[in-house]
């Protein structure tokens, strides 16, 4: 197939019309709900999702919920309010710090980090990162914890397994409490919760199961991040939101999604992923993107591995009848052989 840097260009008007039709049909026709609740963070994905819902349902049937906690960036609130004003939907603020403290989110996370850095405590910021670019060398994905003090000094270290698991489990309470909060506001109105994850997040597992992954519909989960930007331009999402670097809004120190999880900028990763999905030979993709064949092959492998490794996150709860059905079908196959 033909492959170039333009391969992910979409007809934004056409895609918008199609998505609006789907959103309306799913919310009203299938779920019999009358509106949409969207968690808005001032990021590109939630902005596009909320704007699409406002267009599909009418702004009076959309509510944006800002759910900052004490470690969130102050910029998120300003941008989310600007977005709501632009598209005419109501936005409310529901602070979750108290709830998280009640669930010992901060205490449990900090206790784990102190096992690596005993000096960590008040006055220190923290973040988690993957240490290398996925195209640069054959490496495993593992996570480092970084702490930064007020003087700007930082220290970084690979996390032992027990620390890593505890930090992630505690931090995931943030996304899970946000999901719970969204369902409160949605159920109160008999509205649906609309998820904001894009394809990069959904398929590579950059979401929390039953956290930000918990929603009634996910209208942009099939779109690459670079395509979400194209929709944002078309819909008229404020420039400050479009220009903002995507962050996790999960750790106290600022961390981009590239350094936390993806290990590559979206422009390259999305094109490489598209090429991989469409079986574009590594040599052809390398030439089109100005990369080496080895870099392309590493990226193909890394993306494929992340998709497979995170399948569990996208699974519905497994029921016994599904296992019985599978067993019966393999028995049938054997008999017919």
Partner 1 sequence: MATVDEKSIKEKVRSFITETFLIGDEKSKLKDGDSFMHKGVIDSTGVLELASFVESEYNFSIDDNEMIPDNLDSIENLTKFIVRKIG
Is the separation of the CB atoms in 112 and 166 below 8 Å? yes
**Which of 160, 236, 281, 332 touches partner 1 by CB under 8 A?**
160
- 333 touching partner 1, by CB under 8 A: no
CA 106 to chain centre: 21
- Give the integer Cα–Cα distance in Å for 12 and 231: 5
- Min dist CB 130 to partner 1, Å, is 8
| Tokens representing residue 99 in the block | 């709830």
- 2 touching partner 1, by CB under 8 A: no
- 305 touching partner 1, by CB under 8 A: yes
Residues 6+ apart with CB under 8 A from 17: none
- Give the integer Cα–Cα distance in Å for 158 and 260: 13
Task: For partner 1, give the closer residue by CB, 151 or 315.
Answer: 315
The pairing of strands 36-39 and 192-193 is parallel
- Min dist CB 133 to partner 1, Å, is 14
Is the separation of the CB atoms in 234 and 11 below 8 Å? no
Q: Which stretch binds partner 1 (CB under 8 A): 146-154, 159-167, 172-180, 277-285?
A: 159-167
- Give the integer Cα–Cα distance in Å for 127 and 93: 25
- 136 touching partner 1, by CB under 8 A: no
Within 103-132, the residues that bind partner 1 by CB under 8 A are: 131
DSSP 247: B
Task: For partner 1, give the closer residue by CB, 7 or 144.
Answer: 144
Task: For partner 1, give the closer residue by CB, 72 or 204.
Answer: 204
DSSP per-residue string spanning 145-168: EEEE-TTS-EEEEEPPHHHHHHHH
- Min dist CB 142 to partner 1, Å, is 5
- Min dist CB 269 to partner 1, Å, is 17
Is the separation of the CB atoms in 70 and 99 below 8 Å? no
Is the separation of the CB atoms in 260 and 246 below 8 Å? no
| Tokens representing residue 47 in the block | 């902005």
**Which of 85, 158, 283, 325 touches partner 1 by CB under 8 A?**
158
- 238 touching partner 1, by CB under 8 A: no
Within 283-302, the residues that bind partner 1 by CB under 8 A are: 301
Task: For partner 1, give the closer residue by CB, 73 or 144.
Answer: 144
**Which of 143, 183, 210, 234 touches partner 1 by CB under 8 A?**
143
- 323 touching partner 1, by CB under 8 A: no
- 165 touching partner 1, by CB under 8 A: yes
Q: How many residues does the chain have?
A: 337
Which residues of this chain interact with partner 1, rule CB under 8 A?
131, 137-144, 158-162, 164-165, 301, 305, 308-309
């Amino acid at each position: 197939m033909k492959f170039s840097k333009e391969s992910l260009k979409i007809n934004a008007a056409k895609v918008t019309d199609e998505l609006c039709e789907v959103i309306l049909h799913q919310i009203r026709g299938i779920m019999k709900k009358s509106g949409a609740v969207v968690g808005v963070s001032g990021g590109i994905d939630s902005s596009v999702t909320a704007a699409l819902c406002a267009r599909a349902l009418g702004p009076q049937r959309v509510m944006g919920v800002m759910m900052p906690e004490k470690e969130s960036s102050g910029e998120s609130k300003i941008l989310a309010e600007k977005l709501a004003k632009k598209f005419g939907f109501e936005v409310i603020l529901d602070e979750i710090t108290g709830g998280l403290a009640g669930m010992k989110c901060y205490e449990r996370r900090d206790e784990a980090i102190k096992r690596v850095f005993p000096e960590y405590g008040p006055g220190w910021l923290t973040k988690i990162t993957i240490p290398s670019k996925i195209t640069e060398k054959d490496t495993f994905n593992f996570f480092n914890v970084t702490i930064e003090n007020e003087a700007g000094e930082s220290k970084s270290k690979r996390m032992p397994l027990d620390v890593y698991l505890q930090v992630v489990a505690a931090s995931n309470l943030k996304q899970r409490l946000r999901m719970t909060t969204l369902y409160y506001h949605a159920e109160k109105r008999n509205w649906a919760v609309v998820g904001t994850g894009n394809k990069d997040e959904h398929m590579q597992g950059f979401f929390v199961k039953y956290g930000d992954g918990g929603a009634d519909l996910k209208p942009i989960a099939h779109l690459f991040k670079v395509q979400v930007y194209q929709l944002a331009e078309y819909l008229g999402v404020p420039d400050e939101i479009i220009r903002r670097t995507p962050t996790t809004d999960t750790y106290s120190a600022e961390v981009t999604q590239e350094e936390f999880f993806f290990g590559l900028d979206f422009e390259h990763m999305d094109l490489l992923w598209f090429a991989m999905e469409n079986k574009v030979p590594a040599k052809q993709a390398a030439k089109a993107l100005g990369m080496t064949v080895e870099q392309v092959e590493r990226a193909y492998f890394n993306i494929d591995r992340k998709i497979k490794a995170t399948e569990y996150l996208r699974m519905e709860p497994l029921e016994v009848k599904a296992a019985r059905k599978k067993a019966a079908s393999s028995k049938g196959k054997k008999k017919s052989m």
